[in-house]
A = this chain, B = another copy of it.
C-alpha cells in the first residue's frame, strides 16, 4: 500500500487446497494472515503479509474464471518477491517444499535473484537489486 496515494496492487493467487497453501506460505516465506474468510464449502480466501508486503490466496473456482496452476497446467503471472536476504528466503522456500527453477545468483540485469515454483504451481522470483557497492 502506498500510503500517500491510497493506490495498491496485491496479487490474489488461485490454488487448490487453500487452507494447506496458507500453511505453506507461512512456513516458506514467514507470511502472517491478516484476514481470512472460510466458506461453508471449505473454500478459503485470505490476505497474507510477508513483512508488510501483501498478497491474497483463494481456493480456485473455475466457474468464476479463477483457475489454479494445477488446473491450467501452468501459471500466467509470477511474483517478484524482493527481500533483504534472497539466499536465505530461497533456501527456506525449498526446505518447505518449493522446487528450484534456477538458483540464486547475480544476474546481468542488476539483481541477485533465483526462481522457485511452489507446491501449488505459483512461481516466485526471489531477489534484490544489486548496488554498486554490494
B-contacting residues of A (Cβ < 8 Å)? 1-2, 4-14, 37, 50-56, 62, 65-69, 71-84, 101, 109, 117, 121-123, 125, 128
A78→B66 contact, CB < 8 A = yes
In the complex, chain B residues whose CB is within 8 Å of the CB of A82: 1, 6-10
Min distance, Cβ A84 to any Cβ of chain B, angstroms: 5
Contact of A76 among B1, B7, B68 (CB under 8 A): B68
- Give the complex CA separation of A121 and B74 in angstroms: 15
**Interface contact A53-B13, CB-CB below 8 Å:** no
Complex Cα spacing A67 to B1, Å: 27
Q: Are B80 and A76 touching (Cβ within 8 A)?
A: no
Interface centre among A11, A54, A82, A125, by most B CB within 10 Å?
Answer: A11
